[in-house]
Structure 1
Amino acid sequence: MYLGIDVHKRDAQVAVIDEAGEIVEEVRVANANLDDLAQRYAGAEAVIEATTNYYHIHDMLSEHLDVTVAHPGKLSLIANADKKTDRVDAKELARMGRLNSVPESYVPTDEIREARALVRGRQKLVENRTDYANKIHGLLSEHGITQEIKPLSVSGRESLRDLSLPTPWDSLLESYLEVIETLTEEIETLTEEIESLEETIEERAGSLEETQLLMTIPGVSYYSALMIYGEVGEIERFDRDKEVVSYAGLNPVIRKSGDSRIEGGISKRGSRQLRWILVQCARTAVHTCKDAYLKRFYDRLAGKKGSQKAIVATARKLLVSIFHMLNREEVYDPPGVSA
């Protein structure tokens, strides 16, 4: 039997087909009851899509079924269906399973899931806080205030509260400051909770061979090493550096027409978190650590294409180095890295 399971937030549409491709059962099931269905068809093959809540459902179904997770971006047959409904999606997933034509998605290990949860949670809070700092900068600019004030520092927030702005901008400024302080407290609380479990991000990073290797790169700290590890996963699943670059969405989009070849921007069809942290690490390596290998590459490109394109290309070059480091189990050694 082959099960196609179209998972939603609270329930799932299930289609079951036999070896001949005939429909055996179509049913709508609450996600909480999928375990009972899996037991009825124990030993069968099942296909689910990589949705936001698929980890839990994958683990639950895997107790009884042979589960394959389909990559949502590559399910062209479903995405292009003329009549797209949950029933159609479920049947297509089951059919793909029967034909062994499922575009598979990576299912991370428990350890990697934990690493992702830690760093993604902290990153989201930091990003939200930065958004409100930018709102404050915009508000000050509107009122011609050009002095450099840092809303993320305690002294900066004190200076901002001493400013005299007209109504209602004074209220907006105070609201933004309160949000920043609340988010700062949440970031600190999250860190304290992790520390109380003796699993600070720093300790976790130091306990993993992969992150120890990554931290030999100038510009890569405990947090960034753990985030890269969590997003990349097992390096063995990539055969070439081009595959991990594509996974990160840092591969350039190339368009060919006749004899012409046009290289556009990056595809962005991968992990947003991985792209983000690689760019941050590249900036630090180039501008703060002055790493000769990456800075020389950045400087040469910045003069031709500008700083933004150059730093993205540097992040891509950094990822290529990371691939070879993890694949060979070697520390950062630019002369020995294939670019």
Structure 2
Amino acid sequence: METNTLEVKLEVCAGLDVHAKTVVACVLTGSLDSLRAKKEIRTFGTRTFELRLLGEWLTEKKVEKVLMESTGQYWCPIWNVLEEFDLPLALANPQRIKGIPGRKTDQKDSEWIARLGRMGLVASSYIPSREIQELRSLTRTRKSYINERTQHRNRVQNVLQHANIKLADFITDIFNGSGRNCLELLLTGEKATEERVGQVISKRCKHSPTDIAESMNGALSKNQRILLESHLRSLERIDEEMHVLNEAIEEITSKYAEIMEALQTIPGVKKRAAEIILAEVGPNVEQFSSAKQLASWAGLCPGSYESGGARKSAHITSGNKYLKTILYQCGGSAGRSNNTLFSEFYNRISKRGSKKKAIIACAHKILRIVYKILSEQPNRVNKKILTRCSEHLVRNN
């Protein structure tokens, strides 16, 4: 009977247990023929000069691989400093490491990570280049501002509703143009007369100044006016911050103009979606062996669940939530667009399942096209190639 035994893949491997103030490093050194290894453990601080001392020590030990956990954001500065020493770095998912039992101390953690890395049992996480990491931080921060803006807008609606002000029933967008002017009028405490409202709204408004003025004559108390002003000023601040972020994002994405242009030729993918895709996936897909692996990383492929010889249905897996969210939005837009390739595919899936499954299927197709685009040389990507690629992917489901 054949038995599966663990094989040593590396002679010298280091494991780092990362914390806010300290890094515990364990270096294991041994031959490939034996599981036994010489162990050396040191503790370093997380200030820059201390991390450089760590880098010098690892270089001196001729480490073949440095493995660390993705503990919050604590690993980022350590990674950035150790990159200067050209060390072979790898980031591990802590859930996969902690899934294998072991005694819990900082020294044991670093040793356990080193042992797993020496046996080749830990897969490295995808870490993009420094520039793409910065782009990713910018787009994710913008996303948080968008969510915060939505919260403030909902709170404004709640204040108006409690005050029995029905402005949103007569002006579609109360946060821009005529609607914003009406809100500023409410903040002044001035009575919303037909004449005064007529001065602040656009002549293109569908409803008359009389109707709008009547909708604004609610009972707005002093405290409600304070809340309304607070939320509106917060919205102004968020808009200013987003403007700065958009300029910084534009500065980075302009270096990848051909890729951005190619991504926006995909049905359902607009400029903002292309920016997020570039930030999350990167300008190439060398780190992914196939489109299936990219879909698995994004969380857009179904999980595998089989028991007793019977294969059961499974939901899509967890993955990159930022990429999955934007692709889901793009999939919905593409499925309901005039593009026959996606609309026919969407209708076919929705008839035999649900609309949500159809959107996810469209998002999966978009991601496969993204993989094709990024795997091609930028100067070879054009609309003709993209059209043939789209037709092949959609029709050969």
TM-score calculated relative to the size of structure 1 = 0.83
* Aligned: 1:106 with 2:94: no
State the distance in 1 between where 2:140 and 2:87 align. 29
Structure-1 residue corresponding to 2:313 = 263
Structure 2 counterpart SS, 1:41: helix
Q: Is the 8 A contact 1:157 1:177 kept in 2?
A: no
Q: Is the 8 A contact 1:21 1:98 kept in 2?
A: no
Structure 1 residue corresponding to 2:37, chosen from 21, 24, 42: 21
Q: Is the 8 A contact 2:51 2:82 kept in 1?
A: yes
State the distance in 2 between where 1:83 and 1:156 align. 62
By how many angstroms is 1:192 displaced?
4.6
* Aligned: 1:297 with 2:356: no
Q: Which amino acid aligns with 2:173?
A: K
Structure-1 residue corresponding to 2:366 = 318
State the distance in 2 between where 1:165 and 1:309 align. 46
Q: Is the 8 A contact 1:205 1:226 kept in 2?
A: no
By how many angstroms is 1:194 displaced?
6.2
Q: Is the 8 A contact 1:220 1:281 kept in 2?
A: yes
Runs of 4+ in 1 over 6 A off after TM superposition: 141-144
Structure-1 residue corresponding to 2:242 = 187
Query: Which moves more between the two structures, 244-253 or 40-49?
Result: 40-49
Q: Is the 8 A contact 1:5 1:90 kept in 2?
A: yes
Structure 2 counterpart SS, 1:265: coil
Query: Which moves more between the two structures, 181-190 or 167-176?
Result: 167-176
* Aligned: 1:129 with 2:146: no
State the distance in 2 between where 1:309 and 1:134 align. 29
Structure 1 residue corresponding to 2:173, chosen from 142, 150, 170: 150
Q: Is the 8 A contact 2:44 2:51 kept in 1?
A: no
Q: Which amino acid aligns with 2:133?
A: R
By how many angstroms is 1:139 displaced?
5.5
State the distance in 2 between where 1:257 and 1:232 align. 34
* Aligned: 1:116 with 2:139: no
**Structure 1 residues without counterparts, runs of 5 or longer:** none
* Aligned: 1:307 with 2:355: yes
CA RMSD of aligned residues (A): 3.0
Structure-1 residue corresponding to 2:293 = 243
Q: Is the 8 A contact 1:48 1:67 kept in 2?
A: no
Q: Is the 8 A contact 2:13 2:117 kept in 1?
A: yes
Identity of aligned residues (%): 28
Per the alignment, do residues 193 and 70 of structure 1 end up closer, same or farther by CA in structure 2, a change over 3 Å counting?
closer
**Structure 2 residues without counterparts, runs of 5 or longer:** 1-11, 31-35, 187-215
* Aligned: 1:71 with 2:87: no
Pair member with larger Rg: 2
Structure-1 residue corresponding to 2:391 = 335
Per the alignment, do residues 100 and 328 of structure 1 end up closer, same or farther by CA in structure 2, a change over 3 Å counting?
same
Structure-2 residue corresponding to 1:224 = 273
State the distance in 1 between where 2:354 and 2:343 align. 14
Q: Which amino acid aligns with 2:245?
A: L
Structure-1 residue corresponding to 2:116 = 96
Structure 1 counterpart SS, 2:124: coil
1:257-286: per-residue Cα shift (whole Å, max 9, x none)? 335433233212x21111122122223333
- The alignment covers a number of residue pairs equal to 330
